[in-house]
Amino acid sequence: MSGFTTNELLYPLTKGDSPGHPFRGNQYQAVGNISPEVAKFITDKANAFYKAGGTIEHLKPGVTELSNGRSLYAEMERLQNAPRGAKASDGRDYIASAIYSTLKSEYVVGTFFATDKDGNIVGALDYNKNGHIGMLGSTGDPQGIATALEVEMARQAVKDGTGVNSEATYDSETFHRSIGRTVTPDPSDLSKSEWTPEETKAIANLPVGPEHAK
């Protein structure tokens, strides 16, 4: 599930280019739910993360450390032992679960890890086949972690030729809608959340990353 209770959203798309083409100033046409407002929110939020010195890297299952040498085991323990009751407790638990799945190669094809300027893991998103997100967690500091992870997932899905889908809890539906997802209510506690392949391409081509966050 995508465990978020925060409102994180998207950057402007206007006219002049074909849907899904790279963003060029104001030369972009809305694609599905990816409106100018949604795109602006995503771009602003995600680039805030990079501007704060954040980085994201992609790990395959079974890898035990980040490129900066940090042990995933040590990071999982740090997150699990963080003081309880803090606002980010749930987010840290989701991150720890994603780390565990990555270490044990359970149900995941890959995991994106977000680290802060000091190299600490502050967010994680794991996924399996067909662009399905399993766990998505963030400490909320710095801002924009979840959105930056979602953009990287979109870029991965484009490579894999899929859209992106996940489940949304009741208290995270606002976040999902804010990033342009179609949220379909379900009788259970979880709703279906989806970007079509075309929407996924539009997200993947937004000007997001360290080179855009100066």
Whole-number percent of the chain with pLDDT over 70 = 85
Q: Hey, CA dihedral for 33, 36, 40, 43, is it positive or negative?
A: positive
Instruction: Tell the CATH superfamily of the 36-212 domain.
Output: Gcn5-related N-acetyltransferase (GNAT) (3.40.630.30)
Give 143-156 pLDDT, tens digit per residue: 999 999 999 999 99
For residue 23, give the DSSP letter: P
The pLDDT assigned to 96 comes to 96
How many Å apart are CA 97 and CA 134, to the nearest integer? 10
Order of strands across the sheet with 55-59? 55-59, 110-115, 121-128, 132-138, 164-169, 190-195, 182-184
Give 119-145 pLDDT, tens digit per residue: 999 999 999 989 999 999 999 999 999
Q: What are the structural domain ranges in the chain?
A: 36-212
Q: How much is the mean pLDDT over the chain? A: 87
Question: Which residue in 140, 180, 160 sits closest to 58, CA to CA?
Answer: 160
Q: Is the pLDDT of residue 22 over 80?
A: no
Give 62-110 pLDDT, tens digit per residue: 999 999 999 999 999 999 998 876 556 789 999 999 999 999 987 899 9
This prediction has a pTM of: 0.86
Strands (E), the chain: 55-59, 110-115, 121-128, 132-138, 164-169, 182-184, 190-195
